[in-house]
Structure 1
Amino acid sequence: MRRKSIVTGLLTALTVVIALIWVFPVYWMFNSSLLPNSVLQSTTPTFLPIGGSLDNFTAALADGTFFTALGVSLTVTLSTVAAVLIIAFLGALAISRFKFKGRKSFILALLLIQMLPAEGMFIAQYKMMSSVGLLNNLIGMTLLYTAAVVPFTVWMLRGFVAGVPAELEEAAMVDGLSRTQAFLKITFPLLAPGLVASGVYAFLQAWNEFTVALVIMTENQMKTLPLWLRGFVQASATRETDWGMVMAASMLVAVPVIIFFLIVQGKMSSGLVSGAVKG
């Protein structure tokens, strides 16, 4: 028992150390966002924001472009999440519940698509969006993000759907429910954690995406938050970089994601565990 307690204590200490290492960059970003540039450029690091202020945040928000970029990112991201969940959910149901010709080839194609480098499709995507007048357009950006995220999301949701026995629906139908009622009342609630986990994946992919937006969104008023943040670094390139302002801008980009995770963390954890059990 004593030996087991020692091992448990060592593993706990190791876990705490790993957690601190993982959290430190986030804390350092927050700490730096409150300090003036003169302090950040000092050879002696400052680990506590003593004497800090919100001046960097005020400067980052001064030109008002943050809220425009926030609106663009939220619109594209939420639209992408909604479209991805609907399409991927129906696709996962099809390949998990029905037998049809070409099913195995379709599943294999989902995996092969993920191997294609995104950079190799930039020219084709640009020409396609340009030909249909969807450059600098929220609908065009949403379509590209949806197409990029759907294959993996279908594969992810397939595991959740396969983990719910079809016999549950059949038993409900024996009790008098129609197939649609049995699905909505029995199967769908069991798939909710999987939908949340898949939605989180789609949200992060769309929110953090940079390269496609850089190619498609060229007008200032249509820039997403990653492009807005890049503009801060570029604006600082002609002079001494104001790292305090850059860190404050990074915090502003990260805050919506933190809020989103706080809202869905419970369902996301159960969803990830459920998806790992059977698929």
Structure 2
Amino acid sequence: MRRRPRRRASRLALNLVALAVIACSVFPVYWMINLSFTPGDQIISRTPSLVPSDPTLLNYVTAWIRPAAPGQTDFPNALRTSLTVVAVVVVFALLFAFLASIALARFRFRGRGVFIVGILVVQMIPGEAMMFTVYNLIDDMHLMNTLIGLSLVHTAAVIPFTVWTLRGFVAGVPMELEEAARIDGCSAQGAFWRVTFPLLAPGLVSTGIFAFMQSWNEFTMALLLMKDENLTLPTWLNSFQSATEATNYGAVMAGSTLICIPVVVFFLLVQGRMTGGLVSGAVKG
């Protein structure tokens, strides 16, 4: 009988800790949205308010229409640039990583172990350490300030992790499932696409989300390779800072909120496929 009160007390303590962690995680997002509706004179006030007393949409209008700096692009053009680069990165990263993960998990060939170790080593190298090399390479290819050049750099940065992640998903699918399908009359290709591939859907969605997030939030290489009308959203947001003018923090918060919206929409669209793939494949009801 004494164990039940102890269990209830431990559950209550764990729930309180979980709520505290959630609050600490959610509050910065709430504060960003709160400031995006707050007038500029109230943002710099020494008595901040959890709820704007005089909410306004002027910050969003400023962030959407006005370029962040003279000669720079506006939000719609930066959004178009980011979406184009992200779409290219997700498609090609998943394609290359899918083929490489199949080869690493299903076949035994010379140099396989070295290749896997090489993937791990590449992930340990920070992108900033390769800035000058990447800059010279893209410049020699005459791809500076182009969507193709930035897409190549982002794809190369994403592929190692996607290959490593998908390899684990492919290795986790038993070969016996394909063998059973082949006994039932399927060809090798048919067994793979009808049995194995549906089980890999969660891995493809997970790695696709990672590729999307990494390319969407990447700042260093985009700042190094892109300028003027080809800025991506992170570099566009950074250009609100000026040495000659005061920073419009309301517009910065509004722009940050707008940048988050496509990520939330993308996740809402793919989460159903991610959970659906977990129960599809070998067993049919």
Q: Same fold (TM over 0.5)?
A: yes
| The one of 56, 61, 71 aligned to 1:58 | 61
User: Given the superposition, is the C-alpha separation of residues 197 and 115 from structure 1 closer, same or farther in structure 2, using an over 3 Å criterion?
Assistant: same
1:205 aligns with one of 207, 211, 214: 214
> How far apart in 2 are the matches of 1:191 and 1:250?
34
Does residue 18 (structure 1) correspond to residue 21 (structure 2)? The answer is yes
The Cα shift of 1:249 comes to 1.1
Q: How does 1:84-163 map to 2 (within 5 A)?
A: 84-163=93-172
Shift of 1:241: 2.4
Instruction: Find 1:167's aligned residue among 169, 176, 186.
Output: 176
Residue 39 of structure 1 aligns with an amino acid whose one-letter code is Q
The residue type paired with residue 48 of structure 1 is V
Closer, same or farther: CA 267–49 of 1 in aligned 2, 3 Å: farther
**Compared CA separation, residues 77 and 37, structure 1 to 2 (3 A):** same
The C-alpha deviation readout for 1:150-194, integer Å capped at 9, x for no partner, is: 011100111100110011111101111111110000000000001
Aligned-residue Cα RMSD (Å) equals 1.6
Q: Give, as a single letter, the amino acid of the residue that structure 2 aligns with 1:156.
A: T
Runs of at least 5 residues in structure 2 that lack an aligned partner in the other structure: 68-73, 279-285
Q: TM-score, normalised by structure 1?
A: 0.92
Shift of 1:271: 8.0
- The residue type paired with residue 227 of structure 1 is T
Distance across 2 between alignment mates of 1:16 and 1:162: 37
Structure 2 residue 268 is matched with structure 1 residue 251: no
Number of the residue aligned with 1:37 = 40
| Deviation digits for residues 29-61 of structure 1 (CA, Å, limit 9, x no counterpart) | 000000011111111111012320111001111
Matched, 1:228 2:236: yes
Contact 1:200–1:268 under 8 Å retained in 2: no
**Does the 8 Å CA contact 1:197/1:267 hold for their aligned counterparts?**
no
In terms of fraction of residues, the more helix-rich structure is 1
Does the CA contact (< 8 Å) of 1:85 and 1:199 recur in 2? yes
Structure 1 gaps, min length 5: 273-279
CA distance in 2, matches of 1:263, 1:3: 42
For the structure 1 residues 239 and 32, does the alpha-carbon distance in structure 2 shift closer, same or farther, using more than 3 Å as the test? same
8 A Cα contact 1:141 1:216, kept in partner: yes
Q: Distance in 2 between matches of 1:171 and 1:212?
A: 48
Aligned to 1:275: none
The 2-side partners of 1:29 and 1:105 are apart by 45
Contact 2:40 2:249 in 1 (8 A): yes
For 1:268 and 1:178, how far apart are their aligned partners in 2?
Answer: 27
Residue type matched to 2:39 in 1?
Answer: P
Where 1:42 maps in the other structure, the secondary structure is coil
In the alignment, is the contact (CA less than 8 A) between 2:105 and 2:170 conserved in 1?
Answer: yes
TM-score by structure 2 length?
0.91
Amino acid at match of 1:110: I
Q: Cα–Cα, structure 1 residues 107 and 76, in superposed 2: closer, same or farther, change >3 Å?
A: same
Checking the alignment, whether the CA contact within 8 Å between 2:89 and 2:155 is kept in structure 1 is yes
Q: Choose which of 171, 191, 195 in structure 2 pairs with 1:182.
A: 191
Contact kept? 1:91, 1:154, Cα under 8 Å: yes
Secondary structure of the residue aligned to 1:155 is helix
Deviates more, 1:125-134 or 1:188-197: 125-134
Structure 2 equivalent of residue 217 of structure 1? 226
Equivalents in 2 of 1:92, 1:33: separation in Å? 43
Asked if 2 retains the 8 angstrom alpha-carbon contact of 1:233 and 1:246, the reply is: no
1:173 & 1:200 partners in 2: Cα distance? 33
CA distance in 1: counterparts of 2:81 and 2:248, whole angstroms: 25
Confirm or deny: 8 A CA contact 2:201 2:274 kept in the other structure. Answer: no
The 1-side partners of 2:76 and 2:248 are apart by 21
2:113 maps to a residue whose letter is K
Please tell me the residue identity of whatever aligns with 1:265: Q
CA distance in 1, matches of 2:277, 2:152: 26
Change (3 A) 1:187 1:203: same
